[in-house]
Structure 1
Amino acid sequence: MKRFFCFLALLCFFFGAGAQENTDIKAGAGTIVPLKIGDRVPPVVLSGLINGAGLSGKDLSVFKGKLLILDFWATWCAPCVAVMPRMDSLQERFGGKLQILPVAYEGEAAVRVFLDKRRAATGREAHGPIITGDKTLAALFPHQSLPHFVWIGTDGIVKAITDDREVTAAHISAMLGPQAAPMPLKRDSITVYDHTRPLFGSGAPAANTLMQASLSPYIEGIGSGIYKDVDLDSGEPARRITARNQTVTDLFRLAYQKEQKETLVEVADTTALLPPAIRGRAYLDWLKAGHGYCYELLLPEKEKKEAYRLMRAQLQSCFNAYDAHIEQRKVECLVLVRTDNRDRLHTAGGPPSAAIDGFSCDFESCYLYVFLSRMKIAMQGYPYPLVDQTGYQEMADIRLSARMNDLNEVNRALAAYGLRFEKKPAEINMLIIRDAGSPGH
């Protein structure tokens, strides 16, 4: 692909040419060769098993004669947690003809803690075997996004590699039948990018440089994702913002520090800014077809407060067909409010800490904006921005046990603190993207 670069600098700019994922998931090293559809699966020994009675020391061939679906997941992966009830239901429905085998790269202790919380929140027990601490299967079936499913036929041959949408009773029945129809292949763009180094160039800005910025089209082999306000692994103190293979809209969101729910695209033709309703490989192909960009800004430590202002100016200059700005709008929100005046939030002291997973949260000595920022991730399935209207300015302690993606359960748990989320209109600052020169701004 032919590259172009848009450069902007305040003083002395230099550039050296160079080439939301999960950086813990990478293809393995050594002699392991990734498998494809039609390959026979080698006798991988089952390890790190939970609920593995009778399976210790055995390999995947123990499931021969069944349709085996490897379910690659992680405890922090909200979509993985969301599909668990469906996987449980399918396992029960097909009984001895099917084995859904969850595979986690995380260690046994972390997975057991998660399963205990899930049981407490939902009453659901994990009955089937679960692999933990996996490296070998992830190397045989490398992937970047989760969840990730590998279908292995009753004959031990790889039949399909899909996302969660294809794991249905109809597809399982077809796969167990005489003529299974092919399913869309989930083919991730595997990351080989070293996130500790700059994407462009080889080091920090020179001492007399106020900034170093680069913009390019889609780059193969580096995956997609964003690193914000990170330290640069270099001899010079520096800060970095890196966006890999993102849309124009994503870049503007990053520059204005807004999420998707706080963005309105009001242009005549949205095809260059918003992808169609596609996922997986189709979405990657769309990005490669002129809709994906890589951006990086490097600043000396002393200039880091200027980072987002500079990024906004650069993007506006490079994508000057559009006008991006902040505008106050009244939109439907999930508003955090206090239900009474009694203070049940004030911290008991202790070092600040914030932890949240699918079934609990533990915030100690934190301001409510920290709680809200984490809840934005947990409640991403709701189409509304989260807004704080409590007026509470003190540090708080909040410990909840609930399915953190379920508004009703979260509100029941928040009642102990005199808090709740209410769906109602609120005036908030929204990122608006319009055609340049259009009326209204």
Structure 2
Amino acid sequence: MDSLQRLYGDKIAIIPIDGLDRGDNATRAEAFFRKNKFIIPTVVEDTVLKTIFPHKSVPHEVWISPDGRILATTGHDEVTRENIDDALAGRLLTVKIKRDDLTFDLHKPLFVSGNGGKCDSFLYRSLLTREIPSIGSGYRQTPIVRDGKLYLRSFQATNLPAISIYMAVWNEGKAGLLVNPTRVLIDARDSVYSPWDFRDPGSRWRRVKNYCYSFDIPVEVSDSIFYRQLMLDDLNRIFNYQGRIIKKRVESIVLRPVNSRGDLLKLKAGNAEKVGLRYSDERGSILDSVVNIPFCDFINYLSRFYYSACPIYDETGLDSTRITMKINIRYKKDRACESIINYDEWRTAFRRNGIDLIVEKRDTEVLVLSIPD
């Protein structure tokens, strides 16, 4: 400031203002100016000018013309020789205007109760709240679009326990395979165990707190990086776990042809118009048959709704082939999705369709949540 005042002499007047609310006084200001050999005048202990030129942050530069017009209010970066020359020559100032939000409270959290405006311009966000019963439960990917373009990748979980939110990390946000006890382990100091014991309805993991969580980042990342690195790291910071994904040898279901893959062609669906799953009664107690759906979708269905099933590996070669088959396995009658799977029943159901069901150990990705000591 002082060097510019010396350069331009009486063509300009630079007047620093120090408000009373900033804790300085005339004595301290004078000592500072003498030490630095400043020649510019200053106003200290101000209570008037701050009401005429209201602002929240400093420096706050007010540009005033010789005839008393306010030309601009800027930050200190705009106080340059080029801009001063333009002002003296009467040219239009091409500067970045400083506009302070006078309602902003530095002593309150940003964006809470509107402090700092609406939170619609963030580039990265991690948000955790208590349970909000009125908005339902579940998780979903909710991309944020602006001006017709994908702006942010967003994951939202509502009213779920921390462990269920962690499950989305393992499954990379996809529906299905949400809670498979063979793929989630709690690593405590004295034991390793599943948080879901389907034989114990009173399991303490069913009585844990629920949370709402949102994680939003720029789109230039893959699913694996979004969930298994960035979101996993974020959850580890928030909750009292250290989650990691590792390979572990676990009991698994393997589906193979009983004889040859050629025999399975009889399962190939015709041109039936009806598509889906058929149940034996209105209660849906028996899953009776599969009609004209991709075999891989059927396997995903089993994995999704029979949470206590082992991981399923399909080695039939059917993949996305649309099939029709009689299956006849229990579904809702005895809450099959939460009970221990009757593998003899499953094996019989698959073998009548030329598919063998084998239970064996396989290296499978599991999510391990370690509890710090």
TM-score by length of 1: 0.41
Greater C-alpha radius of gyration: 2
